[in-house]
Amino acid sequence: MAGNDDEYIYDEATGEWLPASEAAAKAAAASAVYDSAGNVLADGDAVTLIKDLKVKGAGQTLKQGTVIRSIRLTDNPEEIDCRHDTIKGLVLRTEFVRKKN
C-alpha cells in the first residue's frame, strides 16, 4: 500500500470525509465577509450605501450612494466598522453596502 499521509476530517454538514486541506479551504471561504452583491470585503476597502440609513443616536440619515472609506472587518461577518466625517464608531451591516470598485 502506498503511503497516504493525508488527514481526513468528517464534515457534518455534507456527511462526507474530506481531506484536511479541502476542509480548511471550505472553512476559510465560510468565514469570508460578503457585501450585498456577494463581493468579498477586506480591511481597507471602500463601500457604497445601497439605501438610506437612519443612524441611531446620531439623529441623522446617511443617504444612498454615500461612500465609506477604509472599512474594518469585525468578529461578526455581518457587520463592519466604519468611519464617517460626522459619526464616530459607526457599525454598518454588510447587507446595506456594496464594494466600491
Which pLDDT band holds residue 2 (cuts at 50, 70, 90)? Answer: very low
| Amino acid 14: pLDDT | 83
Are the CB atoms for 52 and 62 separated by under 8 Å?
yes
- Render pLDDT for 48-89 as a digit per residue (tens, 0 to 9): 999 999 988 888 899 999 999 999 999 898 999 998 888 888
Pick the CATH number of 33-99 from 3.30.70.380, 2.30.30.40, 1.10.10.10, 3.10.20.90: 2.30.30.40
Give the separation between CA 8 and CA 10, rounded to whole angstroms.
Answer: 7
Give the Cα-Cα-Cα angle 85, 86, 92 (nearest 5 degrees): 85
* Bridge partners, residue 92, by sequence: 80
pLDDT tens digit string along 15-47?
Answer: 889 888 887 777 776 678 999 999 999 999 999
How many Å apart are CA 78 and CA 62, to the nearest integer? 19
pLDDT of residue 92: 94
